Amino acid sequence: MKLIGKTIVPVGILAVAAGVGGMYLTTGQAASDGDRESSVRSAGAQAQVARAYVGDPEDPATWRLPVESYMPTKTQVKVVTSSRDELIDQCMSAAGFDAWKPAPDLPELGGKTLTDWRYGLHDGELAAERGYHPDKGEQETYDKAMEAGAVDESGADEATLKGCVQKVDGKVPDAQSPAIVEQINGESFVKSKEVPEVAEAFAKWSSCMKGKGYDYKQPLDASDDPAFGDPEKVTPEEIATAKADVACRDEHDVERTWFDAESKIQRAAIAEHLEEFNDAAKATKDAVAKARAV
């Protein structure tokens, strides 16, 4: 983060065969066969889609959703960003702005992976110490970096910087996920809440929380409670709520149920846009190759 296999018999053949025997397919039957053929094609595409991965079953941070296989990894982003920063720096120096430097990376804060904290807090020890707030040391490091800022003392104008960025784009494209990848990543999260198994897990979690004296409908309602929104203050009430939250999640397997449901939704959605997703993965590999060749 910067500081600035199945054989398909054509419907036509089926119709001819039925006609020979004195039977004819109705329009509804033809449509049904067409739907079946489409379903088979969809199943074939889905078989080529990346699958979800579970590292440590007890640690959601080690799980990987299918969509992540088509997103640039942290390492890939770092390789591309470093190369781009160097090229932009060279371009700015050539334009007469030797003092220009790229903005530094911000320290990590909170969730470390796509699935870490995606479904809410899951670390009992952190909950007991910080409630819903990030680790204290991480927060302090992050705050210091933000306070330091990215002050550009080179006096460079925006037009010059924009021109250098455009030149670098032609040599080493930025490693970013295309809109369709981000879209499905976001939509799958929302849709997964409506899956019956997930809704049931939510209801059980809510009942569990109510038994402990807390009235929340869904897991993220607790962490999003405005009462816990002060970034500099962790109250005993917040810690007690977070501990109860994690305990109820564990008791009713909320994260895994939610993760499994979202994984299925993602795989089906990716199958419908498989070519675009494969192109996205290839674009990232190409960008990394260009970055390393600089």
Q: Distance (Å, rounded) from C-alpha 152 to C-alpha 131?
A: 37
CA angle 31/32/38 to nearest 5° reads: 90
Structure confidence by residue, pLDDT tens digits, 79-115: 999 999 999 999 999 999 988 888 888 888 889 999 9
Q: Distance (Å, rounded) from C-alpha 15 to C-alpha 12?
A: 5
Q: Is 226 exposed, middle or buried, given 0-12, 13-18 or 19+ CB atoms closer than 10 A?
A: exposed
Quick check: pTM over 0.75? Answer: yes
Is 90 exceeded by the pLDDT of residue 154? no
Is 90 exceeded by the pLDDT of residue 267? yes
Which residue has 């199958």 as its token pair?
Answer: 271
Q: What is the pLDDT of residue 61?
A: 96
Which residue has 């190409």 as its token pair?
Answer: 286
CB 47 within 8 A of CB 258: no
Per mean pLDDT, which range of 19-33, 253-267, 275-289 is the poorest?
Answer: 19-33
Structure confidence by residue, pLDDT tens digits, 156-215: 888 999 999 999 999 999 988 999 999 999 999 999 999 999 999 999 999 999 999 999
Q: Which of 136, 83, 1, 38 is nearest to 287 (CA)?
A: 83
CB 97 within 8 A of CB 157: no
Which residue has 């080493």 as its token pair?
Answer: 172
What length does the chain have?
294
User: Token digits for 169?
Assistant: 């784009």
Whole-Å CA distances, 185 to 22, 23, 123:
51, 47, 23
Q: Is 72 exposed, middle or buried, given 0-12, 13-18 or 19+ CB atoms closer than 10 A?
A: buried
Q: Which of 126, 125, 148 is nearest to 138 (CA)?
A: 126
